[in-house]
Amino acid sequence: MGSYRVLVVDDDDSVNNLIVSLFVKYGHSCEVAKDGTEALEKFKKNSFDSAVIDIVMPHMDGITLTNELVNLYPNLPVMIMTGHADEQSAGSALAAGAREFIKKPFSIDEFILRFDKMMRERKGEEALLALSLTDELTDLYNRRRFFVLAEQYLKVAIRAKKRSLLLYIDMDDLKWINDHHGHNEGDQALLALASILKKTFRESDIIGRIGGDEFVVLLESTDQNEEMLRTRLYENIRDYNTKVSQDYKLSISVGAAHFDPEYPISIDQLVSQGDALMYAQKRERKEKESRPGVRNGQEDFST
């Protein structure tokens, strides 16, 4: 069982003291609230991994509090405690969004087993959610998650009147690498590029892999940062190529599409613009190649 930060909500000091001592024994940290109103205030000021809540309390009962908390924090694991033995209390608790229900008086073993089960189930849900939202190879956002996050990002950009920049990045010659060195080497090249993108951009920027060799980055745009970011990206790729001994160079083509909040377009349109600009750059560079038989990956990708 991991270490969690738990809010215990009960107007009975003896119950609070018992549960806090139990959680501390198992390595968890706790705070206590005497009623629902105090509990909501504590949630506003602090972050909790779960809550253990009594049903009968002054000012705001446990069912109402659970409802409020689950509306505010949909994934919060809540365990309800009650001195009532009727099935209606359990049904009300679960209907409000509680994940576990335990009747007083309870044994220490039962309490810990139920809490542990609740938290393990939540961890499992988080792991499955992460798998469904991230690219299996690179651990970047997958196509579906990128489009969801990007759509939300652009809505905020419109309200804040902030310009945004989308970089559509295609890794050159992935097929050549796969054909000549095998798909495992191709995967290593993709991982290297993903690592470079994480190094180049900020955590607040949205980075996704939306195709086999296609990546996108969405970020706030200023007059200064586009050229600076392009330069940093190219420098990071050059640095990688100088350190790695192989018979090809990591190379990219990039299309930069701008989002103007005064003239908004959809994320699909923005991605399409970036895609078209990337292919235009790829075609232009191929036309510049002067030596027959030399692959793009061996040329200077910054030109």
Active site residues: 213
* 3-state per-residue secondary structure call for the chain: CCCCEEEEECCCHHHHHHHHHHHHHCCCEEEEECCHHHHHHHHHHCCCCEEEEECCCCCCCHHHHHHHHHHHCCCCCEEEEECCCCHHHHHHHHHHCCCEEEECCCCHHHHHHHHHHHHHHHHHHHHHHHHHHECCCCCCECHHHHHHHHHHHHHHHHHHCCCEEEEEEEECCHHHHHHHHCHHHHHHHHHHHHHHHHHHCCCCCEEEECCCCEEEEEEECCCCHHHHHHHHHHHHHHHHHHHCCCCCCCCEEEEEEEECCCCCCCHHHHHHHHHHHHHHHHHHHHHHCCCCCCCHHHCCCCC
CB atoms within 10 A of CB 165: 20
- Is residue 177 within 8 A of residue 186, CB to CB? The reply is yes
Which residue is listed with tokens 């706030």? Answer: 220
- Is residue 165 within 8 A of residue 270, CB to CB? The reply is no
